[in-house]
Amino acid sequence: MNLGSWFFSDKIALAAYNAQSVSQNQAPELYDMVERLCDRVRLPMPDIYITPTPSANAFATGRDAHHAAVAVTEGIMRILPEGELEGVIARELSHIKNRAPFTQAVVATIAGGISWLTQIASYAMWFGGGSRNENRSNPIVMLLTIMLAPVAASIVQMAISRTREFAADAGAGNLTGNPRAQAQALQRLDQNARQIPLNANPAFAPLLIMNGFSGRFMANLFSTHPSTPLWIEKLLELEQKLLA
């Protein structure tokens, strides 16, 4: 399922958000911005989509650079000035260049495999796998393993997703030379997400530049994105490195 989702990820994600394909004539400024950034980073031109929602968000999808798409919402185009929108587009292109969708598919496959193995272990514990004494030897340990292994796999999956976000920020900062504009964009997007959340299948949350988690430890632990304050802090640190 995960491999199939990766292969058809662009079509699945775009359909989930009701994204509409646009041509250069329909969105000339957006198209020219993406084309200019692709030339800088030496990427093929992705397909461009716009999602008809006032919620401000963006995402990139596709199994590789030659089958990629960048989607933005009407909301993000309305609230972000050109420099900040360029920073958002640059980081989505960095995801494509870093093959983030492929990494996400591999990690999801591993996490799914761990969950599947723990299910098999639970069946073995209750319905077979040795003598009764062996089955009864460590039932508490076995139950804890069955319950915690999928949770641990999910936490690792989300931690890798957050690491990819920082990598995309670094790539976008080097591409545009303006990490501060990215930080300012994140502040606007965070405020917009609290007021006008993008309601969609949570399975696609890792694709979005902004999701609903922020602030507290447990929320960050199970979030696919870093908290906005930490995110902005890392971008400003990157700005200092670029200015040094």
Write out the catalytic residue numbers. 92
Alpha helix ranges (H) inside the chain: 2-7, 9-16, 28-41, 74-79, 82-97, 100-127, 132-137, 139-176, 179-195, 217-221, 228-243
- Best CA proximity match to 158, nearest among 118, 229, 107, 216: 107
Q: The tokens 């200019």 sit on which residue? A: 36
* Total number of residues shown for the chain: 244
Cβ-contact 72, 51 below 8 angstroms: yes
Local structure of 17: helix, strand or coil: coil
- Best CA proximity match to 77, nearest among 61, 56, 105: 56
